[in-house]
């Protein structure tokens, strides 16, 4: 049995599943940059990548047919992370319809590009997440890392094993991943207190 994290360690802040659905369902206005931004958001939540990994992801790191990304995380450790159909569809649209127009015949090894054919900065992506959250009427203070936390929490809530989540997140120590079990246990306590006749 795994021990819960020690009291005093701050718990990660997460979005609820309805909030994630609202964030990802916010309208794409037909603009190529909007399509890129939505593809980035979908892939971030689908894989739980770090934002630095997302903005620097090479085009060759994505396998659309297989439905996975190859990421080199901290310490240049390689990991494969699967993603689902929603992210795949957005990536297909982005790579086919938006990326060539953003590049304007320039060449880049990166998947997600700016108008200068360079990687987006972490700050710019943070601003995009904030803007999209406002459009989705999410009142929480949201960050890209919050989507990573939400990815891990939602997987565990739906029965994923801790070791698999650890591998997808790229944590070298499973104790780092255990904090998400604490989030889940807090929700269990809250549900028990709310619904149990002697809660």
| pLDDT tens digits, 21-62 | 999 997 777 789 999 999 999 999 999 999 999 999 999 999
Torsion angle in degrees (nearest 10) through CA of 184, 190, 192, 198: 150
pLDDT at 190 (0 to 100): 67
- Out of 50, 88, 99, 149, which one is annotated catalytic? 50
* Residue 19 in this model has a pLDDT that exceeds 80: yes
Runs of H (alpha helix) within 32-161: 32-47, 51-55, 85-93, 99-103, 122-135, 144-157
Q: Annotated catalytic residue: which of 74, 92, 118, 187?
A: 74
pLDDT of 192 reads 61
Q: Is 148 a catalytic residue?
A: yes
Catalytic status, residue 171: yes
Burial class, 196, CB count within 10 angstroms (exposed 0-12 / middle 13-18 / buried 19+): exposed
pLDDT score for 162: 85
Could you tell me what percent of the chain has a pLDDT over 70?
86
pLDDT of residue 159: 86
Quick one: pLDDT at residue 5? 53
79 counts as catalytic: no
pLDDT score for 21: 95
Q: Which CATH superfamily is domain 17-195 in?
A: Intergrase catalytic core (1.10.443.10)
Q: What is the mean pLDDT of the chain?
A: 87
Told to judge if 163 belongs to the known catalytic residues of this protein, a careful annotator would answer no
Q: Nearest CA to 119 among 135, 102, 136, 132? A: 102
145 labelled catalytic: yes
Catalytic residue among 13, 79, 122, 145: 145
- Per-residue pLDDT at 171: 83
């Amino acid at each position: 049995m795994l021990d819960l994290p020690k009291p005093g360690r701050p718990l990660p802040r997460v979005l609820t599943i309805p909030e994630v659905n609202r964030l990802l369902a916010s309208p794409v206005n037909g603009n190529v940059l909007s399509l890129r931004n939505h593809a980035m958001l979908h892939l971030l939540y689908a894989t739980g990548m770090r934002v630095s990994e997302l903005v620097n992801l090479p085009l060759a790191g994505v396998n659309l047919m297989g439905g996975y990304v190859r990421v080199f995380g901290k310490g240049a450790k390689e990991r494969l992370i699967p993603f689902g159909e929603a992210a795949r569809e957005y990536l297909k649209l982005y790579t086919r319809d938006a990326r060539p127009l953003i590049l304007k015949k320039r060449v880049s090894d990166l998947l997600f590009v700016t108008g200068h054919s360079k990687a987006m900065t972490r700050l710019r992506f943070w601003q995009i997440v904030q803007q999209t959250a406002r459009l989705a009427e999410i009142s929480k203070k949201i960050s890209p890392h919050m989507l990573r936390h939400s990815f891990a929490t939602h997987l565990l809530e739906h029965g994923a094993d801790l070791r698999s989540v650890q591998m997808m997140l790229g944590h070298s120590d499973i104790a780092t991943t255990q904090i998400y079990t604490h989030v889940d246990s807090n929700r269990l306590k809250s549900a028990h207190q709310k619904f149990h006749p002697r809660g």
